Each structure stands twice: as C-alpha cells, then as structure tokens.
C-alpha cells in the first residue's frame, strides 16, 4: 500500500490549537518524579536498615546460645525470656540501645519527609 501524502493544511490547523498543559508542567512533573524516586530509595533504605537490625539481633541470639553460661540453662532454653534478660543485662541494654537508635532515626526521617511535603505543597 502506498504511503499517504502529508497535509500541510491539517498540520497547520492542528498546530494552531494550543495544548492544554500548564506552563510549568515540566517543572511540576520533574519534582513529582524526583520525590517518587526519593521515596523509593528511602523505602529500600528503611528495609535495609530493618534487615540489618534483625540480622544483628539474630547474631546476638546465636552468640548468646553458643557462649551463654551452661549452668543457667540459658544457652539451651529460650522459654523464660525474663530470666535470660536478667542474666545478660549488658546484651539486652545493647539491643535496646540499637533498637532505640533505629526508632529515633526512622522518626527523624519521617519528620524530614513530612517537612518536605509541607514545603512542596506550599
């Protein structure tokens, strides 16, 4: 089939019609896209931090089980968490401290994000 000829008249008629996009469309879309990319990166970062925290807790538990005092029975039996916590206070404080730092840094990131949304919305 032969190719149809182009029509200057149709092109001109269509070209004279203004497009309906706002003048700052490119700026708006670019900032939305950047915010989306940032959020995706952050959520991966959050997931990585959580995974690292869980891994660290796991390593602590393995260490506890391996090197825990055999007389206390702690190395073999995890049923009584309170007894375990009482017998290894420094380890528990360490885990709680890391957990607290994680929570505080997550809270900080959430607050920064909220501030950014507020600024971009205003």
Q: List residues binding other proteins (CB under 8 A).
A: 1-4, 6-17, 19-22, 25-30, 32-34, 36-37
Spatial separation of the C-alpha atoms in residues 58 and 60, rounded to whole Å: 5
- Of 27 and 57, the one with the shorter C-beta distance to other proteins is 27
Considering the complex, what minimum distance in angstroms separates the CB of residue 90 from other proteins?
44
Spatial separation of the C-alpha atoms in residues 91 and 49, rounded to whole Å: 20
- Of 39 and 100, the one with the shorter C-beta distance to other proteins is 39
Considering the complex, what minimum distance in angstroms separates the CB of residue 52 from other proteins?
25
- Of 17 and 71, the one with the shorter C-beta distance to other proteins is 17
Residues 6+ apart with CB under 8 A from 28: 22
* Secondary structure letter of residue 21 according to DSSP: S
Considering the complex, what minimum distance in angstroms separates the CB of residue 22 from other proteins?
8
Please name the residue ranges forming H helices in the chain.
8-15, 25-67, 81-87, 89-121
Residues 6+ apart with CB under 8 A from 116: 35
- Of 3 and 66, the one with the shorter C-beta distance to other proteins is 3
Considering the complex, what minimum distance in angstroms separates the CB of residue 29 from other proteins?
5
């Amino acid at each position: 089939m032969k190719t149809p000829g182009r029509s200057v008249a149709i092109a001109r008629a269509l070209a004279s019609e203004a497009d309906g996009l706002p003048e700052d469309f490119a700026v708006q879309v670019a900032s939305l896209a950047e915010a989306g990319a940032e959020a995706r990166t952050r959520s991966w970062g959050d997931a990585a931090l959580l995974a690292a925290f869980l891994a660290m807790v796991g390593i602590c538990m393995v260490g506890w089980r391996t090197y825990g005092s055999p007389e206390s029975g702690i190395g073999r039996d995890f049923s009584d968490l309170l007894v375990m916590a009482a017998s290894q206070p420094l380890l528990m404080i360490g885990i709680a401290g890391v957990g607290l730092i994680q929570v505080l840094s997550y809270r900080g990131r959430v607050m920064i994000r909220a501030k950014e949304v507020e600024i971009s919305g205003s």
